[in-house]
Structure 1
Amino acid sequence: MNKQETVSSIQMAMLFLTYVTASAIVNIPAPLTGAAKNGAWISILLACTMGMLILACVLYLHRQYPGLTFIEYTRKAIGRWLTIIVAIPFLCSAFLQLANIVIDIGGFFSTSMLRSTPNYVVQSIFFFMAALTARAGIEVMARMSVLLIISMLGFVIAVLLMVSPYFHPDYLLPVMPNGIKPILHGAYIAYGFPYGEVTLFAAMLPFVRVKERPKIGKYLFLAIIVNGFTLLTSVVCSIMANGPLVGELKYSLFQLARLINIQEIIERIESVIGFSLIAGSYMKASIQLFILTNVLSQLLKLQDERLLTFPIAFVCLLLSLTMFKDEMEFVETVSVIWPLLLNVTYVLPLLLIVAVTLIKRMISAR
């Protein structure tokens, strides 16, 4: 880790908010409402609560091992060889996640905006830009994330306000037409994307300035609350506007923006939501690449982690072009397999380190 690069606690919270909101605000409503129907907002609440529990574990380890990186305190907690065993599946999932982020944005371009442009062109450009941003360092990303998340949330709020005449609150009832199982299914999907990914931010917290570390907990919890409220609002608005069809419409907010027509002056502004998805996915891919580069370099004990940035981006580009045969296979993998894989490779190692740390503290206190 480059010790000279640090950010404030507020900047880290903005990076975190960008990471967990980014593409989720546009992508989540459709699969979530498709699974949970009118109870999708309850699924968001359940998944957000799980995300807060994971964040609490990340912050606990950050307090117990101040100044140490994720790999460093994992070595200290469970030893060198167990760290390698834990880190390999962790890194494999991180590679897959980065590829999935760019596959998603490539699918958006091919179905909604640049239909004649081959996916490999869009994905290559995205990986190149993400690599440049990640290589520029966390301070640059922190400054960019503030502008991007404010503009992205501003655009989304403006679209929701302008589309409000099309809202039908009666579409929200009944809340649980098929019982609790669909809601739990929706919570499973939302937990996998984006809340289970909170674990990765364990690698980012050492970059917070020492004097601001006591504040980081409350700012990160505030960020995840803002994220939960934003996703909840987007889901509820999508249901009120599209009713039973919302689960069938991919990129629900993008479809909502197409409804806007104010005096034939303000219309066809879905490109605004498109910008939000593009900017959010670009920033999330950059943060993901930065985390992946740092974790891998710490595991290999490299002096300059930036040497890995472009090779990792190239490997993920190849993965993004070869992993899935079609879009349906990608959607099924993200909705069904990814939350389970994330539990095994991200969450369980985190819980293992927390458990070992608690046991060691109890033993040393005797």
Structure 2
Amino acid sequence: MSKQERVSSIQMSMLFLFFVTGSSIVIIPAPLTNVAGNGAWISLLIAVAMGMVLLAGILYLYRQFPSKSLIEYSRFTLGNGLTILLLIPFTCVMFWNVAGIVIEIGLFFKSTMLKETPTYAVNSLFFVTIALTVLAGIEVIARMTAVFLTLMFGFIIIVLVLVGTLYHPEYLLPVLPDGIRPILNAAYIAYGFPYSELVVFAIILPLVRNEDTSKVGKHLFVALIVNAMTLLASIICSIMVLGPLSGDLKYSLYQLARLIFVQDIIERIESVIGFSLIVGFYFKASILLLILIRVLAQMLRLENERLLVFPAAFICLLLSLTTYTKEAELEEIVNIIWPLLNNIAYVLPLLLIFGVTLFRSRNSRNKNQD
């Protein structure tokens, strides 16, 4: 993991797609359907639209400061003092974010496949794997992404196709049984996770090769559209198969895989599907830990980022074992508190930098015209 590492715009978009889809494909469908009912897909579209606005702001700043990360152009626009002040909540929330993803991995295993395995064993194994992955560097991670992205999306498509005989389109109606308020509430949840987290990707955007900087924006928007279509298909298919139960059963895609039965030939494939979904958790946690390491290195002005990998991973492991110990509390935090924290820690600094940059660019244009 060195400063000379670079990836193509296609590789960056694949990392971005894994980042926004990796854990959300497992977690998001059930709470959205639970809150918004049959209108969950509308909530997702609203959240995606807000995510596109955020991505447009990130790309605007990237074009203004093509060789700088979020922290570097924050120092340039807001000054070092205010940047450090903003980085404190930014970094703390990132620590909790990495820990939260691994907590979800542990809960997924505990409730589906490895019910007798202690949580500390699952979390420790994952953090060792994630830390070693980050040590390999972004180029290695990007090359791995091409293979595992195909694996994850391939299995998602297989599940949605094989349960086709169980679809009941009539379950999609009525669309708004309780009015617009539940739709907006669910949109708030989906915006908070994963779309408000897009801001952290501004840390690694400068790692795109110079010859690909003009194409990265288009590729990132394509990745976001693919993410939206995947989540949309997952939500709609879950409703058509599970009906009113789709909001009560966690891990909707895994539950759909349990229902697959094709002529005594294909059945009980949920474990294979489960492990392919774990790949999404693993890659998102790896990418987020990589970004966290770069944030810490740039904040502390360290040359060697590798020194921070295992200490940061160990802190995240301790957080994953000592916080969110009750599943009900975790659900409340993810649905209510997490979007608010992400807006304060991630979105607010981006908006401040965006506003100052826009103001300065307009002033410079007016001076040039005069």
The normalised TM-score by structure 1 is: 0.99
Query: Which runs of 4 or more aligned residues in structure 1 lie more than 4 Å from their structure 2 counterparts after TM superposition?
Result: none
2:350 aligned residue: 350
Matched, 1:88 2:55: no
Identity %: 60
2:6 aligned residue: 6
Contact residue 8 and residue 208 of structure 1 kept, 8 A = yes
State the distance in 2 between where 1:276 and 1:183 align.
30
CA deviation map 1:312-358 (0-9, x unaligned): 00000000000123111111111110001111110011011000000
Matched, 1:211 2:211: yes
> What is the CA distance between 1:144 and its match in structure 2?
1.0
State the distance in 2 between where 1:48 and 1:69 align.
24
Contact residue 14 and residue 146 of structure 1 kept, 8 A = yes
State the distance in 2 between where 1:276 and 1:234 align.
15
1:59 aligned residue: 59
Q: Aligned letter for 1:102?
A: V
Contact residue 2 and residue 137 of structure 2 kept, 8 A = no
Matched, 1:45 2:40: no
State the distance in 1 between where 2:133 and 2:254 align.
26
State the distance in 1 between where 2:221 and 2:42 align.
19
CA deviation map 1:285-325 (0-9, x unaligned): 10000000001100100010111011000000000000123
> What is the CA distance between 1:277 and its match in structure 2?
2.0
State the distance in 1 between where 2:123 and 2:89 align.
24
The normalised TM-score by structure 2 is: 0.98
1:138 aligned residue: 138
List alignment gaps of at least 5 residues for structure 2. Answer: none
State the distance in 2 between where 1:360 and 1:151 align.
46
Contact residue 70 and residue 295 of structure 1 kept, 8 A = no
CA deviation map 1:211-252 (0-9, x unaligned): 100000000000000000000000000000000110000001
Contact residue 32 and residue 189 of structure 1 kept, 8 A = yes
1:248 aligned residue: 248
2:176 aligned residue: 176
State the distance in 2 between where 1:240 and 1:69 align.
43
State the distance in 2 between where 1:254 and 1:22 align.
14
State the distance in 1 between where 2:27 and 2:148 align.
17
CA RMSD, 1 decimal: 0.8
1:36 aligned residue: 36
Contact residue 65 and residue 73 of structure 1 kept, 8 A = yes
State the distance in 2 between where 1:275 and 1:30 align.
19
**Could you tell which deviates more after superposition, 272-281 or 336-345?**
272-281
Q: Aligned letter for 1:217?
A: G
Q: Aligned letter for 2:280?
A: G
> What is the CA distance between 1:362 and its match in structure 2?
1.4
SS at match of 2:213: helix
State the distance in 1 between where 2:77 and 2:163 align.
52
CA deviation map 1:47-91 (0-9, x unaligned): 000111110111111100111122111100100000000111000
The residue correspondences of 1:241-320 to structure 2 (distance < 5 A) are: 241-320=241-320
1:166 aligned residue: 166
Q: Aligned letter for 2:169?
A: P
State the distance in 2 between where 1:319 and 1:51 align.
28
Q: Aligned letter for 1:224?
A: L
1:108 aligned residue: 108
Matched, 1:76 2:46: no
> What is the CA distance between 1:23 and its match in structure 2?
1.3
SS at match of 2:198: helix
Q: Aligned letter for 2:285?
A: A
**Count, aligned residues:** 366
State the distance in 2 between where 1:154 and 1:302 align.
40
